[in-house]
Amino acid sequence: IPRLGLISVLHQEQAGLIDNMAQRHAVSRGMRDYVSGRLWDMDTVCVLSRIGKVAAAATAATLIERFGVTHIVFTGVAGSVDAGVKVGDIVIADALVQHDMNSAPLFPRFEVPLLGQALFSSDRHLSDWLFDAAGRFVAEDVDRMVAQADRELFRLDRPRVHRGLIGSGDEFIHGPQRRGELRRAFPQLLAVEMEGAAVAQVCFEFGVPFAVIRTISDGADESAPGDFMQFIERVASRYSFGVVRRLCGV
């Protein structure tokens, strides 16, 4: 029987989901609270990873080994590095790369040593399911769930749902130079964040299907840190709640 592990970074991205959980039960482990219960009809364990690859990897491994999850979904925000991917859009990862991995000359740049690969594919079925959920959220829920004033404040258009490569590193990208380097290293890169590829590696190693969905909060440029918390509070948290609700078939 499936058991979904749901990871986010920030409390705002899970608060609504945890409020909607039945038979809720929290266990603290390694400085994180794992909240299990029934989310609509899905057996689910929700946890906040905190920020960065190590934090995310430890959380994913604990979800798998101690809480017995069979699938993992990561929801959060990301910076866009592609001109076609705008603030307020959604990106679902087809594959992820640790853009700060570099053991050259021992191993090729970006390759995870001894695994022999740089890119980790997300689970196709889970990602398709997430894509459908995101599509329904955009078509049916987003206008009601994100206030008109906030859509104007953040100059949001109707969200588009993209699929492609996401890069993760222990680095907040906030300027043209780093952004440009990443674009040149990975021409197909859509977005950057700080956890997804770490979860991807752990899930690969344990054979657990996973998917990553990110709301674009910034353009990974000079303006990136501005209004970040406000955006998460008023927009991204609504996206997380709305998409996961659709994922659970509601």
CB 36 within 8 A of CB 27: yes
Rounded to an integer, what distance in angstroms lies between the CA atom of residue 240 and that of residue 214? 9
Burial grade of 187 (CB within 10 A; 0-12, 13-18, 19 or more): exposed
Name the token pair of 59: 């959380």
Q: E strands of 99-145, at which residues?
A: 119-121
Q: Which residue is nearest to ligand ADE (CB)?
A: 79
Count Cα neighbours of 12 within 13 Å in the Cβ-side half-sphere: 14
Please, which residue, 39 or 191, has the CB nearer to ligand ADE?
191
Q: How far is the CB of 52 from ligand ADE (least distance, A)?
A: 10
Residue 101, C-beta contacts closer than 8 angstroms, at least 6 positions apart? 109, 110, 111, 112, 118
Q: How far is the CB of 179 from ligand ADE (least distance, A)?
A: 8
Strand-strand pairing, 42-48 and 4-8: parallel
DSSP string, 44-109: EEEEE--SSHHHHHHHHHHHHHTT--SEEEEEEEEEE-STT--TT-EEEEEEEEETT---TTTS-T
Please, which residue, 188 or 223, has the CB nearer to ligand ADE?
223
Asked, as a colleague might, if the bond just before 176 is cis with ω within 30 of 0, I would say no
Q: Is 43 a catalytic residue?
A: no
DSSP state of 11: G
Please, which residue, 94 or 193, has the CB nearer to ligand ADE?
193
Please, which residue, 91 or 202, has the CB nearer to ligand ADE?
91
Q: Binding residues for ligand ADE, per CB under 6 A?
A: 77-79, 172-174, 192-194, 217-218, 220, 224
Please, which residue, 39 or 57, has the CB nearer to ligand ADE?
57
Q: Which of 13, 89, 111, 195 is catalytic?
A: 13
Q: Is 218 a catalytic residue?
A: yes
Rounded to an integer, what distance in angstroms lies between the CA atom of residue 174 and that of residue 31? 29
Q: Which of 89, 94, 111, 218 is catalytic?
A: 218
Active site residues: 13, 218
